[in-house]
Chains A and B, each alone.
Chain A
Amino acid sequence: MIDDATAVEAPLLTISGLEVEFPVKGWRRPPFTALKGVSLDILPGETMGLVGESGSGKTTIGRAVLGLAPIKAGSITFDGQDTTRLSRRERRSLSADIQVVFQDPYTSLNPAMTIGDILAEPLLTSGIERVAARDRIRELLDQVNLPADAVDRLPREFSGGQRQRVAIARALALRPRLIVCDEPVSALDLSTQARVLDLFIDIQEQTGVAYLFVSHDLSVVRHISHRVAVMYRGEIVETGDAAAVTGAPTHPYTQRLLMAAPVPHPRRQAVRRSERHALLASQRAADAASEAVG
């Protein structure tokens, strides 16, 4: 476990001025800029929540950290090592430290492989003996609260929440220090979602792993994050302590995002709704005023 002495140590992951462009199909079409100079850092054992709407670039940040997105400019540093442009071989040695849990538990597991084979893959690739791998797999299944006999089963025999537990176990296999979680609970049912989130928190408290937790849902991010960054159109518009960003945001977009999330109670939701309408009206008025000045 991490003690307070480490509180002042250097960040585990530092992203600075990151720009990502995707080529657009067609002759001489300008590329699509997904990230316009994003800077972010994550401390060891910390959860950094990344919230934004679809197309805001939040998933692209996670994929860039994993080496799955084309980086145009800027840098990504993991534990003092520049990982912006790594060859596949160098990236492989990093795979023990940085792992991923994807959104869709239905396509992130190869349907033709048993759970045991899926979990063995990263272990055997890293050179662990078959017998040791089997013990580690049993340990992993226990850690994510799946029965030991899951080893011989295929992904389709499991529900969405259970598949996501398998994906978490796969990410944990090599004892990483950072896990990129790309909307890991948004495909799950409400009650399953809460339990999988609690599993993420339990694992973090046991292992001290850091999370880059990408989600479109402000309440999910508030539940799991220590700090939160809000993305809007390829830029981070607000960063800070989770309670502050998700409770009293300062950026107009974050304010809109917070007000748009419905409260599960009719009377309080009616209040929230009128607050939202008031906020939108005041933001529109402010925009009009700034335009008039400009």
Chain B
Amino acid sequence: MSEAVIPAEALVPRLATGRQKLFRRVLKNPMAVVSLVILALVVLSAVFAGQITGWDPGRADLNDALAPPFGEHLLGADASGRDVLARLYFGARVSLVGALIALSTALAIGIPTGLIAGYFQGWFDSLSSWFASLLMAMPGLIVVLALISVIGPGMVGVMVTFGALLSPGVFRLTRSGVVSVRRELYIDAAKVSGLSDYRIISRHVLGVIRAPLVIQASMIAGIAIVLQAGLEFLGVGDSSTASWGQMLSEAFTNIYVAPTMILWPGLIIGITVGSLAIFGAALRDTVQGAEPVRRVRRRSLPVEEKATTRRLDLSTAATAAVIAPRDGGHEDLEPNDALLVVRDLRVGYPQQDGSETIVVDGVSLHVDRGEVLGLVGESGSGKSQTAFSILGLLPDTGAILGGAISFAGRTIASADGQARGAAALRGRQFGYIPQEPMSNLDPSFTLGFQLVEPMRHILGLSRPAAKTKALELLDRVGIADPRRTFDAYPHEVSGGMAQRVLIAGAVACDPELLIADEPTTALDVTVQAEVLDLLRGLQRERKMAMIMVTHNFGVVADICDRVAVMQAGRLVEQAEALELFDDPHNPYTRMLLSSTLEDTEPRAARSSHATSSRGTAR
């Protein structure tokens, strides 16, 4: 079992950014660096306030009252003649300690409860979620003001209370993070490995919620600083120590005499809170951009991006070197009645560094009227990309870089981007059947609505006429009770039923070409056989041409007239179905055909091993 001969499984080149820790990636973001530097300066000036200024923040000197800035006092002096800069330094202590108290309280309450509720669920989850909702519904400032009137204006009590009021945010975030990972298979694998709950949480769960928690923490710290300054501004704080809010309040009373004085505390509060928010945002961007593909692409992909495209660039790079010479890839003789002709198609994804990841490389094929062409290959072979190119549904980040596609004699796509006919053909001449029936139906509309709308739009039918036609189609695709299915929502039907509904929709407007992208892969084998029977029947009675994209040679044998085999973006072999199965020319095709297990002997018959014979003896 040698890996050397296996292109698809060859080791993927190591990603440059693969093992970089999150923090080092954050440091590459200039916004994060600037905000971190500012926050560090604020913290340092608070810690070393006594060393960096010669002024005592509490020493009043009426001679200096309301002294202007840039004189003896760098930022001037307040109404009592106290140095503003010194009071800013010392005031930072109050703000930061206050924020720290509120933050620690929120995290100390929110994280453990969120972990327990999310991981173990049950009654604790219900109770704590209910309690979190209650806390969130309480008006925070009023609770804090009421508390101050009871326990007095001590900063610790106020900030602890405020932290408790902010803890539901942490609780919810932790809980939802845990809930989303506890169903992951690697958590099950850890349980089977015998890890205790404590170790599973600390090793597998905490890592997932760490980054979102840091983001949330930066928000909480910012809110706490603002709230604390607000309370001091209202005069409910401790007036004996300098604080930013108190400075704001004093500056406000002297705003007509010394208008610049309100600037300094205002600026420092704004800059500190802003830095916290920007740091949170930068961290969020880094976390969300963690997937390698997103960082190398020019624009982010649409949400419905296929999983196969994500893997493509990796496997293509690895396999490019081992592509066998082409065998029958080119077709110079195109019959005149070809419905669809693809000539030298090249599809690629431009990369950030200016290079291109080629996923379809020089593919030429044609589909005649009434013919079924099988497009076969493994994941990363470019078969779906070819189909999407024909449909004109490549993601925004991909582009046709060479060649042309023409339908019924008219060019519908080319490298220069001039011909853009595919959109007008979709739903009229092109029908499309997707791989995942459920994710291609909108869960918020009935199946009937989703069938009727395109018919009204494209065929211009009235609503009752479209409904009649939809019911006929549902009956034709073998749905036992069309009326009930018409009124059903997607979640109320099985995967096989959903695929029948999508087939009904695909043929509703009598397309000349039906493109089916792995239409039976997500279905059970008994349902697959029925769906193939249905497709064959529809194809014959409507004399449609069809492209069947699949990895399953059984499906190819069942329905296809002609077969094109793709490997790593290239077409390696094209032949009549019978010819291909009887006498495959290309080594890759031969390898694929020999990998099918349908014809293999049962294990007992292959091996005379003791374990095997024992199995048969029973």
Contacts and interface: CB of A to CB of B under 8 A. Distances in A.
Given A100-B189, A122-B194, A265-B557, A242 B595 contact: no
Interface in B592-607: 592-593, 595-600, 602-605
Nearest to B520: A262
A103 B189 CA distance: 12
B610 A125 contact: no
A219 B185 contact: no
B6 A191 contact: yes
Given A7-B617, A241-B616, A219 B600 contact: yes
Contacts of B311: 159
Interface stretch (B68-76, B264-272, B402-410, B526-534): B526-534
Interface stretch (B14-22, B352-360, B474-482): B14-22
A238 to B, nearest CB: 14
B192 A157 contact: no
Interface stretch (B196-204, B233-241, B415-423): B196-204
A33 interface: no
A122 B174 CA distance: 26
Interface in B491-531: 495, 524-529
Contacts of B226: none
A28 B605 CA distance: 52
Contact of B558 (A159, A191, A243, A262): A262
A269 B524 contact: no
A125 B190 CA distance: 10
A223 interface: yes
Interface string B544-560: 00000001111111101
Given A54-B524, A121-B193, A262 B529 contact: yes
Interface stretch (A43-51, A128-136, A286-294): A43-51
B551 to A, nearest CB: 6
A29 interface: no
Contacts of B598: 219, 261-264
Contacts of B14: 153, 157
Nearest to B208: A112
A263 B612 CA distance: 26
B199 to A, nearest CB: 7
A177 interface: no
A47 B593 contact: no
Interface residues of A, number: 97
B192 A99 contact: yes
A225 interface: yes
B50 interface: no
Contacts of B558: 262, 266, 269, 273
A46 B615 contact: yes
Contacts of B194: 91-93, 95-96, 122, 125-126
A241 B188 CA distance: 31
A29 to B, nearest CB: 16
B599 A2 contact: no
B8 interface: yes
Given A99-B192, A243-B604, A216 B597 contact: no
A157 B14 CA distance: 7
A47 B8 contact: no
Interface stretch (A13-21, A74-82, A194-202): A194-202
A189 B196 CA distance: 35
A250 interface: no
Contact of B189 (A47, A102, A159, A256): A102
A224 B605 CA distance: 11
B64 interface: no
A199 B3 CA distance: 12
B292 interface: yes
A108 interface: yes
B577 interface: yes
A212 interface: no
Contact of A194 (B527, B532, B597): B597
A262 B532 contact: yes
Contact of A222 (B11, B188, B597, B616): B597
Contacts of A247: 602
Contacts of B195: 121, 125
Contacts of B35: none
Contacts of B595: 190-191, 193-194
A141 to B, nearest CB: 12
Contacts of A83: none
Given A102-B185, A241-B616, A276-B529, A189 B12 contact: no
B611 interface: yes
Contacts of A266: 557-558, 560, 577-578, 581
A133 to B, nearest CB: 13
B601 to A, nearest CB: 8
Nearest to A227: B615
Contacts of B192: 66-68, 95, 98-100
Interface centre among B15, B577, B616 (most CB of A within 10 A): B616
A37 B208 CA distance: 39
Interface string A210-253: 00000011111011111100000000000001110011000000
B197 A43 contact: no
B360 to A, nearest CB: 18
A276 to B, nearest CB: 6
B425 to A, nearest CB: 30
B9 interface: yes
Nearest to B593: A264
Name, among A2, A189, A216, the residue most crowded by chain B CB atoms within 10 Å (CB to CB): A189
B199 A191 contact: no
Interface in A151-200: 152-154, 156-162, 167, 170, 174, 189-195, 197-199
Central interface residue in B599, B610, B617, by most chain A CB within 10 Å: B610
Given A7-B614, A205-B609, A222-B603, A262 B552 contact: yes
23 contacts: A1-B610, A43-B615, A54-B495, A54-B524, A68-B188, A68-B191, A88-B197, A102-B185, A102-B188, A112-B207, A152-B19, A198-B1, A204-B611, A216-B525, A225-B615, A226-B604, A226-B614, A241-B618, A261-B554, A262-B552, A263-B599, A265-B557, A273-B558
Interface of B: 1, 3, 6, 8-9, 11-12, 14-15, 18-19, 184-186, 188-197, 199, 203-204, 207-208, 292, 311, 314-315, 378-379, 495, 524-529, 532-533, 551-558, 560, 577-578, 581, 591-593, 595-600, 602-605, 609-612, 614-618
Interface of A: 1-4, 7, 43, 45-47, 53-54, 66-68, 88, 91-93, 95-96, 98-100, 102-104, 107-110, 112, 114, 121-122, 125-126, 145, 147, 152-154, 156-162, 167, 170, 174, 189-195, 197-199, 201-202, 204-205, 208, 216-220, 222-227, 241-243, 246-247, 256-257, 259-269, 273, 276
Given A190-B553, A192-B9, 18 more contacts: A66-B192, A92-B194, A95-B194, A110-B207, A125-B194, A145-B3, A159-B12, A190-B596, A191-B378, A219-B597, A223-B600, A225-B615, A242-B603, A242-B604, A243-B605, A262-B552, A262-B558, A264-B581
Closest 8 pairs between A and B when the two form their complex, measured CB to CB: A226-B615, A262-B554, A95-B194, A264-B553, A53-B524, A108-B185, A122-B193, A92-B194
